[in-house]
């Protein structure tokens, strides 16, 4: 990244030329270091009163941060599929939220009938992959190169899907039960308060949410490895950069598209089961996660897995911290982040400019 | 549309009547005479409602058809106008409601709607093409969640009730016939404005920018400014529709501007056709008729499936909507005609 960027920087604009002190990158490095140090201090220190005055209690702050992190994990799972599909096919799949919701319902049904939660997760992933494959082969291949019509079609599909899901699963709220070995809370080695008798209170947090976070990280690394270290990943990246050239050099582009669409849809379905277990499943969730995916990829940059991770982290944290500190304006915070990103860097944080 | 453009330079506009065209006169006569033959239900629930949604879709079609920017946030700008009416005018929700007169509230509502539209437009024109849909969808969704959560300004979930159309010079605009004519006047104004603007220098520049922004920028046109001005005009029309919509419903709540409503506007515009400003009104009439009568056929619950399938069919088979179908039909008839003559 840095090597690729270096030649683009005009010599005059860089304040980091020798002799002028520290470079711009060093300033940013120091800034991030200071921020990280502040955060670590906030996590481990015994809070003095003036900090408590600003940030309420340490427990509220840390819970908000952890909730933000797990939500970011969930958002990443949903948005990574969305961003992959967009990056490769220039196809804005506005039915992505519907895929999430369908995955959640299917996962619920499988887990409920068989009693195995893991089977639900796997089943939702596989079934949604097939659904995504069908969408690509039956619908999008016919409208290739027509962005607007593809997008309109996905809107139509999302309307029909939402209505049919309402017909089958009605308007109720479902909760996917997680197995015992994932349930319960664990104590984290973080002190939230010291009692007057000297005993310390540790922060306890639902174990499952930490699993969600870990899963998101594992899948994120897996995706990154697939994209950067395998042959298929190389083809996908080549396709993102120049679809025509990839096709001309003898690769079956449609096969690659189908694979990417299947992975993207499958990830949405998987996220549905995870989200339905950690939170709940109800009509309207499709819109919520579509919005999350949209904002995450707009902020993070289209077609970039790293961007999706950064975007998910920012949006997830902003949403949860906003929920604690200014409840009715939480959504505005998300919106402001999006606008600021667009104003400063229209292509998103990790996006490539066209 | 194409036929119109081709004909225009050939026949120099002799007078105003010729420029307006016979079709418009017939249409105007039909619309003006409509209250004579229709019941109150058909007058407001079908007539007025179609005109209002036609205006909303028109504001989208102005951006999409002439500017190449498909916006899903038009209903949000209508909502800005609607909430302005509720907050600055009179409501019976016992929150805010400054009780300003309608001739002050209405321009204010239009101003807020147009300004917010221009602002969102200014943000979204930083990117191009398909991004606009994503950004405006995000804006519409965020606006919906925001007004639903915020009670101090927007009264949250219930929203505002008791918003009534004014009584002006003894004419009560809550009554069906005056309300219908008010909608008709507003729709006609918007329609004529779009039609006029499309052939003005500004409109032609906008269409050129849609077709090739890089070249226009190279020639020296301010691409961003033209686009933002288009957003401003679109916001004006959406705001006008928003004011009429709250007077029609008598209330405004987050449900009025939710994502389904935002997508509904897009569906209307696409079904009708984006190529000519009459398209949105045709689309609105179709959708409103379907909403009213299809419920008897498929039941109220599965209505969305029906409209979704209809929408998909239009997108697949006639990208230019019903107007496009009409064009294809006319072409085919002309060919048949030629064949039969040989």
> What is the DSSP secondary-structure string of B250-313?
SEE-GGGGSHHHHHHHHHHHHHH-SSSTHHHHHHHHHHHHHHHHHHHHHTTTTHHHHHHHHHHH
| pLDDT tens per residue across span B11-30 | 444 566 667 777 777 888 78
Total domains in the fold of chain A: 1
Distance from C-alpha of B114 to C-alpha of A251, rounded to nearest angstrom = 49
Answer whether residue B116 shows pLDDT above 90: yes
Band of the pLDDT at A9, cuts 50, 70, 90? very low
Distance from C-alpha of B152 to C-alpha of A308, rounded to nearest angstrom = 34
Using CA coordinates, name the residue in chain A closest to B121: A339
Least-confidence region, from A256-260, A331-335, B58-62: A331-335
CB count within 10 Å of CB B336 equals 10
What DSSP state is assigned to residue B167? E
Q: What angle do CA B214, B218, B222 make, to 5 degrees?
A: 85
User: With an 8 Å Cβ cutoff, are B142 and A330 in contact?
Assistant: no
The structure tokens listed for A254 are 């449609």
- pLDDT attached to residue A10: 46
- The pLDDT > 70 percentage for chain A reads 92
Task: Tell which wins on pLDDT, A145 or B214.
Answer: B214
The structure tokens listed for B21 are 């065209």
Interface test with A, best of B61, B142, B264 (most A CBs within 10 A): B142
Domain ranges of chain B: 2-8+40-341
Least-confidence region, from B31-45, B101-115, B236-250: B31-45
Using CA coordinates, name the residue in chain B closest to A148: B130
Is A34 among the domain residues?
A: no
Q: What does the pLDDT average to over A260-276? A: 90
CB count within 10 Å of CB A172 equals 8
Write down the pTM of the prediction: 0.83
- pLDDT attached to residue A5: 44
Is the separation of the CB atoms in B45 and B238 below 8 Å?
no
- The pLDDT > 90 percentage for chain B reads 15
Is A66 among the domain residues?
A: yes
Q: For chain A, what is the mean pLDDT? A: 82
User: With an 8 Å Cβ cutoff, are A160 and B319 in contact?
Assistant: no
User: With an 8 Å Cβ cutoff, are A298 and B138 in contact?
Assistant: yes
User: With an 8 Å Cβ cutoff, are A156 and B70 in contact?
Assistant: no
Distance from C-alpha of A202 to C-alpha of A220, rounded to nearest angstrom = 30
CA dihedral B123, B124, B125, B128 (to 10 degrees): 150
Query: Phi and psi dihedrals of A191, rounded to 5?
Result: -85, 125
Query: Which residues in chain A have Cβ-Cβ distances shorter than 8 Å to B303?
Result: 163
| pLDDT tens per residue across span B157-180 | 888 877 777 777 877 777 777 888
Is A255 among the domain residues?
A: yes
Distance from C-alpha of B189 to C-alpha of A97, rounded to nearest angstrom = 39
Closest partner CB to A160 (pick from B133, B270, B308)? B308
Q: What does the pLDDT average to over A207-236? A: 88
Give the CATH number for residue A69. 1.10.3470
Interface test with B, best of A88, A171, A287, A303 (most B CBs within 10 A): A287
Is A15 among the domain residues?
A: no
- pLDDT attached to residue A343: 79
CATH for the stretch B2-8+40-341: 1.10.3470
Radius of gyration of chain B (CA): 21
Is A289 among the domain residues?
A: yes
Answer whether residue B114 shows pLDDT above 90: yes
B92: closest CA of chain A, how far (Å): 23
- pLDDT attached to residue B234: 92
Query: Which residues in chain A have Cβ-Cβ distances shorter than 8 Å to B304?
Result: 159-160, 162-163
Is A228 among the domain residues?
A: yes
B87: closest CA of chain A, how far (Å): 18
| Three-state secondary-structure class, residue B141 | helix
Q: What does the pLDDT average to over B114-143? A: 85
Give residue A322's domain range.
61-181+207-344
> Considering Cα of B234, then B240, then B243, then B248, what sign does the dihedral take?
negative
B213: closest CA of chain A, how far (Å): 14
């Amino acid at each position: 990244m840095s090597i690729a960027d270096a030649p683009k920087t005009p010599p005059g604009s860089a304040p980091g030329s020798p002799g002028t002190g520290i470079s711009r990158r060093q300033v940013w490095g120091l800034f991030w270091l200071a921020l990280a140090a502040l955060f670590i201090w906030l996590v481990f220190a015994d809070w003095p009163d003036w900090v408590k005055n600003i940030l309420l209690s340490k427990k509220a702050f840390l819970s908000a941060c952890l909730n933000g992190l797990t939500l970011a994990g969930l958002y990443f799972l949903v948005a990574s599929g969305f961003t992959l599909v967009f990056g490769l096919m220039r196809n804005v799949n506005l039915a992505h939220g519907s895929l999430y919701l369908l995955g959640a319902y299917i996962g619920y049904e499988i887990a409920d009938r068989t009693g195995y939660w893991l089977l639900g997760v796997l089943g939702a992933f596989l079934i949604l992959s097939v659904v995504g494959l069908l969408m690509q082969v039956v619908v999008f291949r016919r409208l290739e190169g027509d962005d607007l019509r593809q997008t309109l079609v996905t809107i139509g599909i999302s309307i029909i899907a939402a209505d049919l899901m309402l017909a089958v699963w009605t308007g109720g709220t479902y909760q996917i039960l997680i197995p015992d070995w994932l349930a319960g809370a664990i104590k984290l080695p973080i002190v939230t308060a010291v009692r007057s008798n000297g005993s310390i209170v540790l922060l306890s947090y639902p174990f499952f949410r930490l699993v969600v976070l870990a899963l998101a990280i594992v899948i994120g690394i897996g995706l990154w490895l697939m994209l950067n270290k395998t042959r298929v990943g190389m083809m996908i990246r080549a396709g993102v950069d120049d679809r025509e050239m990839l096709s001309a050099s003898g690769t079956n582009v449609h096969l690659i598209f189908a694979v990417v669409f299947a992975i993207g849809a499958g990830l949405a379905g998987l996220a549905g089961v995870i989200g339905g277990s950690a939170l709940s499943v109800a009509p309207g969730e499709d819109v919520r996660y579509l919005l999350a995916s949209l904002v995450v990829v707009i902020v993070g940059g289209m077609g970039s897995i790293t961007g999706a991770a950064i975007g998910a982290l920012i949006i997830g944290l902003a949403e949860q911290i906003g929920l604690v500190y200014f409840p009715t304006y939480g959504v505005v915070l998300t919106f402001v982040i999006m606008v600021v990103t667009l104003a400063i860097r229209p292509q998103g944080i990790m996006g490539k400019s066209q | 549309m194409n036929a119109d453009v081709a004909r225009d330079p050939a026949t120099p506009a002799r007078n105003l009547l010729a420029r307006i065209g016979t079709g418009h006169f017939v249409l105007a006569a039909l619309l003006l005479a409509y209250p004579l033959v229709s019941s109150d239900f058909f007058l407001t629930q079908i007539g007025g409602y179609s005109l209002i949604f036609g205006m909303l879709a028109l504001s989208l079609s102005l951006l999409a058809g002439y500017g190449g920017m498909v916006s899903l946030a038009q209903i949000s700008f209508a909502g800005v106008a609607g909430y302005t009416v509720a907050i600055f005018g009179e409501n019976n929700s016992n929150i805010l409601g400054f009780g300003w007169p309608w001739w002050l509230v209405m321009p204010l509502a239009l101003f807020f709607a147009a300004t917010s539209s221009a602002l969102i437009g200014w943000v979204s024109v930083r990117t191009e093409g398909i991004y606009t849909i994503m950004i405006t969808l995000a804006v519409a969704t965020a606006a919906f969640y925001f007004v639903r959560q915020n009670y101090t300004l927007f009264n949250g979930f219930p929203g505002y009730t008791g918003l009534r159309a004014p009584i002006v010079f003894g004419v009560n605009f809550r009554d069906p016939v005056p309300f219908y004519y008010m909608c008709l006047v507003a729709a006609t104004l918007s329609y004529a404005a779009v039609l006029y603007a499309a052939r003005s220098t500004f409109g032609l520049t906008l269409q050129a920018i849609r077709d090739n922004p890089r070249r226009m920028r190279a020639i020296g046109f301010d691409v961003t400014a033209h686009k933002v001005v288009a957003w401003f005009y679109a916001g004006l029309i959406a705001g006008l529709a928003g004011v009429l919509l709250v007077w029609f419903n008598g209330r405004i709540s987050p449900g009025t501007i939710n994502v389904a409503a935002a997508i509904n506007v897009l569906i209307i515009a696409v079904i009708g056709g984006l190529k000519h400003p009459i398209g949105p009104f045709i689309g609105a009439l179709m959708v409103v008729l379907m909403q009213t009568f299809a419920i008897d056929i498929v039941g109220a619950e599965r209505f969305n499936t029906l409209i979704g399938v209809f929408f998909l069919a239009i997108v697949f088979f006639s990208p230019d909507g019903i107007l496009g179908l009409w064009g294809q039909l006319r072409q085919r008839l002309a060919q048949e005609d030629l064949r039969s003559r040989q």
